[in-house]
Structure 1
Amino acid sequence: MKLVVLACVVTLALAAPRPDETAETLVDERSDSGDGNFNYNFETSNGIYEERVGTPGEEGQSNMGGTIRFTLPDGTLAEIVFVADAAGYRPESPLIPTPHPLPAHAIEQIAFAEEQRRLGVEVDK
């Protein structure tokens, strides 16, 4: 049994992706004003790109927005545009899975419940 586990671990280690050791940094621009405002731009020769802008938030958090791009193993360019603020981290990308749409009867039930709530109907729990 131990031999099987060891073989699996070795196989996973050998199959793990390796970073491109020949990649060079093409762009590395950073600016930080010290008051919570910053920007960052980074790009490598193997297609990794990130730009980020940050500002201080009203609730003490850092608000950020930016773009991340990299090439997937199949050659597809992946791009993620994101915002991170008091409302949380919100990435957008066609590569991020989305839930299936709700069936019509579920949408009708939600609309009915919202209407009942609007009318002040209370349900005993």
Structure 2
Amino acid sequence: MDHRSFHLAAVHELVAGGTGFTPVLWGELSGLPLSDLLSVLAHGRQTGLLLVRGRDASERALGVVKGQVTWAASSATDERDIREVGFGLVRLHHGQFTLIRTPEGVLPEGEGESATELLLEGMRRLDEETRRAGTGRAAS
């Protein structure tokens, strides 16, 4: 899976006509959990485009610049910002991912969300959702 086989229009707009997009890591989420992958990106201050396709055919993408998530897109209509896309990713346990090295200047730089904080927030929300489901209360 690479950016050409991804269906999200936002990804195609980001990479439109560009060259130098190189897949550097890919695999199955069941073999390398997203939490581990985000941790590597954050601690290594990596830059790239992370594409994830869930088993349910949902697609999510994160743009990471020096360990900061500065851009996000999702096929899920309720995931409109970086935190929501991050939470959607944390909930996935099965699917495929590809990390693509991007040419300099393609991804927006500046203030973003720390990949580590995004991961921790997503895990906290997942835990809260699981607890609510266990007590019979609907998740909000």
TM more than 0.5: no
TM-score normalized by structure 1?
A: 0.28
More strand by share: 1
Greater relative CO, 1 or 2 (CA 8 Å, sep 6+): 2
Point out the structure with max Rg over C-alpha: 1
Higher helix fraction: Structure 1 or Structure 2? 2
Relative to the length of structure 2, the TM-score reads 0.26
